[in-house]
Chains A and B, each alone.
Chain A
Amino acid sequence: NAGVTQTPKFQVLKTGQSMTLQCAQDMNHEYMSWYRQDPGMGLRLIHYSVGAGITDQGEVPNGYNVSRSTTEDFPLRLLSAAPSQTSVYFCASSYSKVSTGTMITDTQYFGPGTRLTVL
């Protein structure tokens, strides 16, 4: 299994340009998410999806769109890039399980990240 893959690894954009960050997973996970990581801020959730055809907003969704037409793919679109979107973007996928008790656990697997600079 390749796990979670992201392309591109690095990208430089000019203000106002649009682009799509690609994310794919081959683990048949239902749940996929996009995060951005900025210094001193930790990882913040942008959008997430609980299955094909279902998406929802996270903590910082403005300026980003997502779609989930297949289980495997979860692309993130920047509509009109701004310098504030300079960040490292991580895609993640996860499964859930029910333990012998009542607890439900999720292990998220992250892609290697895309380092985006907006000039």
Chain B
Amino acid sequence: RKEVEQDPGPFNVPEGATVAFNCTYSNSASQSFFWYRQDCRKEPKLLMSVYSSGNEDGRFTAQLNRASQYISLLIRDSKLSDSATYLCVVTGGTSYGKLTFGQGTILTVHP
């Protein structure tokens, strides 16, 4: 079983739609959780951290469920510019710098 699993998609949604991605992780000792965004042929960039209480940044909402070991990302009112690959990222319990990535979920927003 992979340490971090995501539905690779692709998700094809119209502008204005709401779309949700889920991610599961296997290491119960994981401490920090993130969503990164990667545009085609570019480096990953941090979209948002994920906190146990849930957090929101504009149209983006992230949730963490430690009991079920899953993370979610909700995008409301999708824009064309949201088209990208979204990477679920988890850090281990003992090494701050060691991130484990999911394979990514591809989102395409069309007019």
- Given A90-B44, A108-B46, A112-B42, A42 contacting B96 (CB threshold 8 A): no
In the bound complex, do residue A33 and residue B98 qualify as a contact, i.e. CB atoms below 8 Å apart? yes
Interface majority SS (helix, strand, loop, mixed), chain B: loop
Inter-chain contact total with CB atoms closer than 8 Å: 68
> Which A residues touch B99, using CB under 8 A?
33, 45, 92, 106, 108
Q: Provide the bound-state CA to CA distance between A108 and B35, in Å.
A: 11
In the bound complex, do residue A110 and residue B43 qualify as a contact, i.e. CB atoms below 8 Å apart? yes
Q: Provide the bound-state CA to CA distance between A96 and B95, in Å.
A: 11
Interface majority SS (helix, strand, loop, mixed), chain A: strand
**Nearest Cβ in chain B — how far from A81, in angstroms?**
22
In the bound complex, do residue B43 and residue A96 qualify as a contact, i.e. CB atoms below 8 Å apart? no
For the complex, is A32 an interface residue (Cβ under 8 Å from B)?
Answer: yes
> Which A residues touch B52, using CB under 8 A?
103
Most buried by B among A40, A42, A107, A111: A42
Q: Which residues of chain A have a CB within 8 Å of any CB of chain B? A: 30-33, 35, 40-45, 48-50, 56, 58, 90, 92, 94, 96, 103-113
A43-B101, A94-B97 known; 15 new pairs, CB 8 Å cut-off, are A32-B97, A40-B103, A42-B87, A42-B102, A42-B103, A43-B87, A48-B95, A48-B98, A90-B44, A104-B31, A106-B99, A107-B46, A109-B46, A110-B45, A112-B43
